[in-house]
């Protein structure tokens, strides 16, 4: 059975190194974007609709066509993230795929099996055309399901030797390459392809 699959991209790096800027530029031309936005950053970008209420998110998840949504939650983050993931899966499944961005995953997942809604989105969303950007400062503290299912890894500077060692072990990017990154520099790796290096420019 032929499907128009999405892609799962894991993005790592300490705070203020360029993760969100990189991701926003990658999805800028996409017409359908659903963002988990606990820091209330994406909601301030041009073209994004700031959503804080569950009822409004449900309404948008059941709406076809072009939209860019940033869901901002300030309390009960794990419960709200689970709700967001269920809505995002419904939105992509029934209305033609799209892009989902999940920020600060270490705050709402653990190294154990992916929680309910997030697990469904990862395991079943890709074959329904949903591309997922998974962002975390420390992947040693975040969801191993996302890391294990990723097609592409984008690594920015990490703040500790332990984080560098973990990323190297999991991605097979040489530790020396990761350890040499400076702020705004990144390494992009897709298994079977050469490493790509880049730097965020303003």
- For the stretch 120-161, pLDDT in tens is 999 899 999 999 999 999 988 888 888 888 999 999 999 889
Encode 42-63: b = buried (16+ Cβ within 10 Å), e = exposed: bbebeebeebeeeeebbebbee
Beta bridge partners of 12: 136, 155
List Cβ neighbours of 14 (8 Å cut-off, separation of 6 or more). 137, 156, 157, 158, 159, 163
Which CATH number does 8-199 carry? 3.40.50.300
pLDDT digits (tens, 9 = 90+) for 20-66: 999 999 999 999 999 999 999 999 999 999 999 999 999 999 999 99
Beta strands (DSSP E) in 28-144 are 32-36, 49-51, 67-71, 98-102, 130-136
- Tell me the mean pLDDT in the region 63-73: 96
How remote is the C-alpha of 9 from its chain's centroid? 7
**Where in the chain are the domains?**
8-199
pLDDT digits (tens, 9 = 90+) for 167-198: 999 999 999 999 999 999 999 999 999 999 99
- Tell me the mean pLDDT in the region 101-114: 89
**Confidence class of residue 111 from pLDDT cuts 50, 70 and 90?**
confident
What is the structure's pLDDT at 65? 94
Indicate the DSSP class of residue 2: -
What is the structure's pLDDT at 181? 97
Regarding beta strands 185-189 and 196-199, do their DSSP bridges make them parallel or antiparallel, or are they unpaired?
antiparallel
**What pTM does this model have?**
0.95
Closest by CA position to 35, among listed 78, 82, 77, 71: 71
Burial-class residue 179 by CB neighbours within 10 Å (0-12, 13-18, 19+).
Answer: middle
Alpha-carbon span 44 to 50, nearest angstrom = 8
Cα→Cα distances 201→26, 31, 126, 184, Å:
14, 24, 30, 8
Is residue 167 within 8 Å of residue 183, measured between CB atoms?
no
Alpha-carbon span 79 to 199, nearest angstrom = 35
């Amino acid at each position: 059975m032929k499907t128009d699959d999405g892609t799962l991209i894991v993005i790592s790096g300490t705070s203020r190194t360029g993760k969100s800027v990189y991701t926003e530029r990658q999805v800028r031309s996409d017409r359908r974007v659903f963002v988990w936005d606990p820091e209330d950053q994406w909601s301030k970008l041009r073209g994004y609709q700031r959503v804080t209420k569950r009822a409004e998110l449900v309404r948008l998840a059941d709406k076809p066509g072009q939209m860019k949504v940033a869901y901002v939650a300030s309390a009960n983050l794990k419960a709200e993230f689970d709700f967001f993931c269920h809505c995002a899966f419904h939105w992509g499944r029934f209305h033609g795929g799209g892009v989902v961005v999940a920020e600060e995953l270490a705050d709402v997942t653990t190294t154990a099996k992916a929680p309910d809604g997030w697990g469904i989105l990862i395991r079943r969303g890709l074959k329904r055309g949903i591309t997922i950007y998974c962002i975390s400062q420390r992947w040693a503290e975040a969801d191993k399901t996302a890391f294990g299912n990723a097609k592409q890894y984008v690594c920015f500077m990490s703040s500790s030797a332990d984080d560098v060692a973990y990323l190297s072990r999991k991605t097979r990017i040489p530790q020396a390459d990761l350890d040499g990154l400076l702020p705004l520099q990144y390494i992009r790796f897709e298994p079977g392809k050469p490493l790509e290096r880049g730097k965020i420019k303003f």
